[in-house]
Structure 1
Amino acid sequence: MIVINTIEELQIELNAHRRDGKRIGFVPTMGNLHQGHLSLVDVAKKHADIVVVSLFVNPTQFGPNEDFDSYPRTLNEDCKKLEGQGTNIVFAPAKEEVYPKWPNITSVTVAELDKNHCGASRPVFFGGITTVVTKLFNMVRPDCAIFGEKDFQQITIIRRMVTDLNFDIDIIGAPIVREANGLAMSSRNGYLSQQEKDHASNLYQTLLWAKSEIEHGRQDFRQLEKEANQKLDDLDFTPDYFNITNQDTLELAQADDKKLVILLGCYMGKVRLIDNIQL
């Protein structure tokens, strides 16, 4: 495994692999890796000959009162994990490499899909993600890119962006990786004590309850959402949203929709957690 910090060096290395007919797979991350991230590398290895993982804490997706400055940066530990997982290239650029003129005045947005759910309470979030992912796609020029399905709204937005902007990149979703108690793995879980992690497993249990209600015939989705939010409130979470939506449009689901995803966002103290479950 090699670690590369500049776009020029990255493209020299990848162009050599392309000349050899190798397929390039890409896993963009912000570092502070856990088993969920490493599972993305395993998926990439199934679809590509060369796996590139980026480690970059992207400033444009954080709001003014969010945790950009305190977000964990664990480069050495991340590289050890990635080498053990069989990664070929780690791309760890500085901010000046990704954003050569700061502040960045060009942005990429995916209208409609980014306005609700996480986008409603974090208005700069998805614009920051789609902008940096576009930049990283231009740097890496991968054949395929792997994103975790825990961020279901994110992967839906990325897929639409790739289609709309004619990127010749296959977007591959990887299933959510969970702790033994059901809590979806997240870098922000590192802010929680073990007792808090155990309590946070109630998020997944609430999703399972709502899924079961729908599978048993309930179609009053707005009432079901209210009941789920009340459950979260009773468990001392601060709900942001609990939305039963159409998988393709991310609009609130109607009774005749067949492909559903339940999206959940909430706070446990100051820690923001998200999860989802597909039907």
Structure 2
Amino acid sequence: MKIFTLKSDLKNYLAAEKKKGNSIGFVPTMGALHKGHLSLVEKALSKTNITVVSIFVNPTQFDNKEDLDKYPKTLENDIKLLESVDCDVLFAPSVEEIYDENVVAERFDFDGLEHQMEGKFRDGHFDGVGTIVKALFEIVEPDVAYFGKKDFQQLQIIKKLVEKHNIPVKIKGMPIFREKDGLAMSSRNTRLTKEHREAAPFIHRILKKARKKTGTKNAKEITEWVKNQFENHPLLELEYFTIAEEKTLISVDKFEEYKRYRAFIAVFAGEIRLIDNVRF
């Protein structure tokens, strides 16, 4: 596996590969890699000639500096994991390499997608996401980029970014990877206490039960039921639960035929914030 830390070196290498007619697959990450990330890498490896993974903990998408400081950084182990699946290229730049001296986010208009759910609770988060993803796309110039559906709102926003800025890349959303007990895999899971880790699968169990109620209850009633399930939980605190149309991400009170819906949830397990979603 080739490892690059400088934009110019990576661009030169990939330009030469493209001249040979090789297609480029791209998996952007913030490191602390797990099986979910590796499933994206393996998909890219199977569909494109050269697979590039980036590891970059992006400061402009954190609204909480403490969360940024505590975000797990495991580069040595990440390299071993990428080598184990025969990844072609790792791009691991410094903050200065990406932002120079100006560590601020661009402002983006994602047609309202950015104001729903995560956007209501994480100020400026999606400006930071848009800034780094756009910058990485300009550096790597991939043919296809792969993202997990755990961050479904982010996936929709990246599709909108590509559409509005005419970026020539296909965006592929891949299924959520889960632990055996149902907990959605996340780099933040490593920071859970033993107690909170044991409690966390409750989140996915509730989502599955909520989905079963769609035949008899409307969206508003299901939302109230979910809130009640968390009300007296001793270890998990619900931040939000909402049922939204997949395309617009706008929350709904009732279901309409021929529209696709997804339930979204954010929960605090102690100081660790966990998100998940399921299609309804």
TM-score interval, normalised by the smaller of the two chains: over 0.9
CA deviations on 1:200-223 (whole Å, 9 max, x unpaired) are 000000100110001x2322x122
Is the aligned partner of 1:268 residue 2:266? no
Alignment of 1:48-87 (within 5 A): 48-87=48-87
CA deviations on 1:181-217 (whole Å, 9 max, x unpaired) are 0000001101113442221000000100110001x23
Of 205, 224, 227 in structure 2, the residue corresponding to residue 226 of structure 1 is: 224
Distance 2:73 2:107 in 1: 25
Distance 2:44 2:211 in 1: 30
Distance 1:197 1:47 in 2: 35
Secondary structure at the residue paired with 1:213? helix
Distance 1:101 1:140 in 2: 21
Q: Give the AA of the match of 2:165.
A: L
> Which residue of structure 2 aligns with residue 245 of structure 1?
244
Secondary structure at the residue paired with 1:67? helix
| Unaligned runs of at least 5 residues, structure 2 | none
| Unaligned runs of at least 5 residues, structure 1 | none
Q: Give the AA of the match of 1:208.
A: K
Q: Give the AA of the match of 2:229.
A: K
Distance 1:167 1:66 in 2: 33
Q: How far has the Cα of 1:238 moved from its partner?
A: 1.5
Secondary structure at the residue paired with 2:267? strand
Q: How far has the Cα of 1:243 moved from its partner?
A: 0.5
Secondary structure at the residue paired with 2:38? helix
> Which residue of structure 2 aligns with residue 277 of structure 1?
278
Secondary structure at the residue paired with 2:86? coil
For residues 60 and 109 of structure 1, do their structure 2 counterparts lie closer, same or farther at Cα, with a shift above 3 Å needed?
farther
Does the 8 Å contact 2:105/2:131 carry over to 1? no
CA deviations on 1:114-145 (whole Å, 9 max, x unpaired) are 11211101012111011100000001000010
Q: Give the AA of the match of 1:249.
A: T
Does the 8 Å contact 2:60/2:105 carry over to 1? no
Does the 8 Å contact 1:181/1:198 carry over to 2? no
**Which stretch of the first structure deviates more once superposed, 257-266 or 192-201?**
192-201
> Which residue of structure 2 aligns with residue 179 of structure 1?
179
Distance 2:103 2:67 in 1: 19
Q: With structure 1 as the length reference, what TM-score do the two structures score?
A: 0.96
Distance 2:108 2:21 in 1: 31
Alignment of 1:1-279 (within 5 A): 1-104=1-104, 106-214=106-214, 216-219=215-218, 221-236=219-234, 237-253=236-252, 254-257=254-257, 258-279=259-280
- Corresponding pairs, count: 277
Q: How far has the Cα of 1:15 moved from its partner?
A: 0.7
Q: Give the AA of the match of 1:245.
A: A
**Which stretch of the first structure deviates more once superposed, 147-156 or 40-49?**
40-49
Distance 1:109 1:118 in 2: 15
Q: How far has the Cα of 1:105 moved from its partner?
A: 5.9
For residues 250 and 106 of structure 1, do their structure 2 counterparts lie closer, same or farther at Cα, with a shift above 3 Å needed?
closer
Does the 8 Å contact 2:55/2:92 carry over to 1? yes
Distance 1:106 1:157 in 2: 14
Does the 8 Å contact 2:106/2:127 carry over to 1? no
Secondary structure at the residue paired with 2:161? helix
Does the 8 Å contact 1:189/1:197 carry over to 2? yes
Secondary structure at the residue paired with 2:71? coil
Identity rate of aligned residues, in percent? 38
Secondary structure at the residue paired with 2:247? coil
Q: How far has the Cα of 1:46 moved from its partner?
A: 2.5
Distance 1:104 1:250 in 2: 26
Q: Give the AA of the match of 1:267.
A: F
Distance 2:45 2:233 in 1: 40
Aligned-residue CA RMSD (Å): 1.3
Q: Give the AA of the match of 2:67.
A: D
Does the 8 Å contact 1:109/1:126 carry over to 2? no
